[in-house]
Amino acid sequence: MNSEKWIPLYKLTDDMKIWAGTIVRLNNVMFTPDDRVRCYDYIVSFIYDNDEHLQLTCITQGEAGNILCVLKKDMPNHYALGTELKRMLSGEDVAIKMES
């Protein structure tokens, strides 16, 4: 049985592995055209023809496809580390969905 939980970014350990398919959520985003507060979900995915980075691509309706940032992989592995995600993002309103 799959259980999923959201981990706040500040609780993420520096050595946690961030794999492709991980969901990152930005909560309380205020840059919508009508100034409504909402959240955006991003998926960590591979970049075609780039073996050194992963990207965070928006999967929220209306913004889908927008790229938030790229993460440097922990070479030669196929994942980034928690320290890299924390370097690129900050704030209490960021959470990571981990499945176990």
In DSSP notation, the chain reads: ---EEEEEGGG--TT-EE-TT-EEEEEEE--STT---EEEEEEEEEETTEEEEEEEEE-STTTTT-EEEEEE--TTSSSEEHHHHHHH--STTEEEEEE-
pLDDT, tens digit (0-9, with 9 covering 90-100), for 50-76 = 999 999 999 998 889 999 999 999 999
The more confident residue out of 92 and 9 is 9
In the chain, what percentage of residues exceed pLDDT 70? 84
- For position 100, what pLDDT does the model report? 46
pTM: 0.83
Instruction: Give the model's pLDDT for residue 97.
Output: 86
